[in-house]
Amino acid sequence: MSEQMQRIVLASRPEGQASEQNFRLEDAPLPQPGDGEVLVKVHYMSLDPYMRGRMNAGKSYAPPVEIGETMTAAGVGEVVASGSDDLQPGDFVLGMFGWASHGLAPVSEVRKLDPQKAPITTALGVLGMPGFTAWHGLHAYGRPQKGETLVVAAATGPVGSMVGQLAKQAGLRVVGVAGGAEKCKLAVDTFGFDACLDHRAYADAPALAEALAAECPDGIDIYYENVGGKVLEAVLPNMNNFGRIPVCGMIAWYNSAETGLTAPAIWRDILTKFLSVNGFIIFNHYDRYPEFLTEVAPLVAAGEIKYLEDVAEGLANAPKAFLSMMQGGNTGKQIVKLV
């Protein structure tokens, strides 16, 4: 076994938009597992928008990555050394191994995977944190009812595409918003959305709001919020009374605090339309994860839930893939193949 591993650390904190200079690829000694630990060779790692927030200093729902520390990430891979009878070399597991070729973790903090039941990459996307986020947010806070209208942005991403498909199965009209005509075509043709709007085709929020009004003639009952920015500004005027807005992200604002919206405008819509707005972080809700798997895994296996994966090759390319994803450059769940 090699005595060295590779990892990508946070080299500096970004000022505004992140860049490749904020990351550094370096070698590190390969750790060995102690009692109750496993050493895992990572085959695939996940890239997710929340990582941008971890690059900033300051108080948040989770501690920031410190300068010189390995960037945080979930990964799936093969156990190569074990200090526990519960897992053996050759087993495949999911864990928080970071942007690294190998990861050391307590057995209690990894989940064994069965590659015969589903590709291991699905544990990072459709059957992992993004898919679970979509399922939980939609049902717990969206409270969908047959005949209602739902709008979701980033419609071909792992969260948006799951939200839309689950809403369609529940009998809702589903309108997506995505970046580019090709992604909008995917939303309709692959994921079964009723319609999808290319936000890049509209000069400003009022123009997008007008297009949404045309596609949502009965108004919007649920807006699944994972983007913020111009889309939120366009959605609010179209929300129905007693509408629901689950909030799991705001990627349009992660690189900047600037927004065209003002607090009085947002609060006025919330007040006068009696909106329910619920922010949530999925890490607080993993008690429901088994319920999610029980319901959704059979749908994925049967092909009733579709998913796409955007695979970058090599750990060294992770920063470039991450930055591209933050600008909407990915199609489907962004992962990095290491093996």
* CATH 3.90.180.10-classified regions of the chain: 4-125+307-337
Taking alpha carbons only, the member of 300, 321, 324 closest to residue 311 is 321
Q: Which of 4-13, 166-175, 216-225, 261-270 has the lowest mean pLDDT?
A: 261-270
pLDDT band at 267 (very low <50, low <70, confident <90, very high): confident
* CATH 3.40.50.720-classified regions of the chain: 129-282
Q: Show the tokens assigned to 325.
A: 């994803």
Topology of the domain comprising 4-125+307-337 = Quinone Oxidoreductase; Chain A, domain 1 (3.90.180)
- In the chain, the amino acid numbered 246 is P
Would you say residue 127 has pLDDT above 60?
yes
The per-residue pLDDT for 263 is 67
Q: Which of 15-29, 167-181, 257-271 has the lowest mean pLDDT?
A: 257-271
User: How many other C-beta atoms can be found within 10 angstroms of the C-beta atom of residue 150?
Assistant: 27
Mean pLDDT rounded to a whole number for the chain: 94
Topology of the domain comprising 129-282 = Rossmann fold (3.40.50)
